[in-house]
Structure 1
Amino acid sequence: MRTLTSTGVLMTAAALSLLAAPAAYATPPGDNGTVKIHDAKTGEELRKNEPHVCSFYLDAFGFDGEQKVDWKIVEMPPTGTKGELADSGSLTLDGEGHGRTDDKTLPDGHYKLIWNFDGEHGEAKHKVFWTDCEDDDKPSEKPSDKPSDKPSDKPTDEPSPSTSDSTAPTSAPSPSPNGDGDLAETGNGAPVGVLAAVAAALVAGGGYLVARRRTARQH
Structure 2
Amino acid sequence: MRTLPRAGAVCAVAVAALFAAPSAHATVPGDNGTVKIHDASTGEELKKNEPHVCSFYLDGFGFDSAQKIDWHIDAVPPSDNSGETVKSGTLVLDDEGHGRTGNLSLPDGHYKLYWNFDGENGRAKQKVFWTDCEDSEEGGGSSASPSASASASASASASVSPSAGASASASASSPAGAVPSASASGQGGVSGDLAETGNGAPVGLLSGVAALLVAAGGFLAFRRRKAQQG
TM bracket, shorter-chain basis: 0.5 to 0.7
Q: Is the 8 A contact 1:80 1:110 kept in 2?
A: no
Any idea what the Cα deviations from partners look like across 1:145-169, whole Å, max 9, x if unmatched?
xxxxxxxxxxxxxxxxxxxxxxxxx
Aligned to 2:141: 140
Q: What value does the CA root-mean-square deviation take over the aligned residues?
A: 2.5
Shift of 1:21: 1.6
Aligned to 2:93: 93
Q: After superposition, where does 1:46-125 map in structure 2 within 5 Å?
A: 46-125=46-125
Q: After superposition, where does 1:169-184 map in structure 2 within 5 Å?
A: none
1:21 aligns with 2:20: yes
Shift of 1:96: 1.1
Structure 1 unpaired stretches of 5+: 1-7, 144-219
**Bigger helix share:** 2
Shift of 1:12: 9.0
Structure 2 unpaired stretches of 5+: 1-7, 145-230
Q: Give the whole-Å Cα distance in 2 for the aligned partners of 1:19 and 1:93.
A: 34
Shift of 1:15: 5.7
Any idea what the Cα deviations from partners look like across 1:155-213, whole Å, max 9, x if unmatched?
xxxxxxxxxxxxxxxxxxxxxxxxxxxxxxxxxxxxxxxxxxxxxxxxxxxxxxxxxxx
Q: Give the whole-Å Cα distance in 2 for the aligned partners of 1:12 and 1:33.
A: 36
Between the two proteins, what is the percent identity of the paired residues?
62
Q: Give the whole-Å Cα distance in 1 for the aligned partners of 2:46 and 2:12.
A: 42
Question: What is the TM-score of this pair, normalised by structure 1?
Answer: 0.56
From the CA coordinates, give the structure whose radius of gyration is larger.
Answer: 1
Any idea what the Cα deviations from partners look like across 1:76-121, whole Å, max 9, x if unmatched?
1112333201100000001111110000000000000011100111
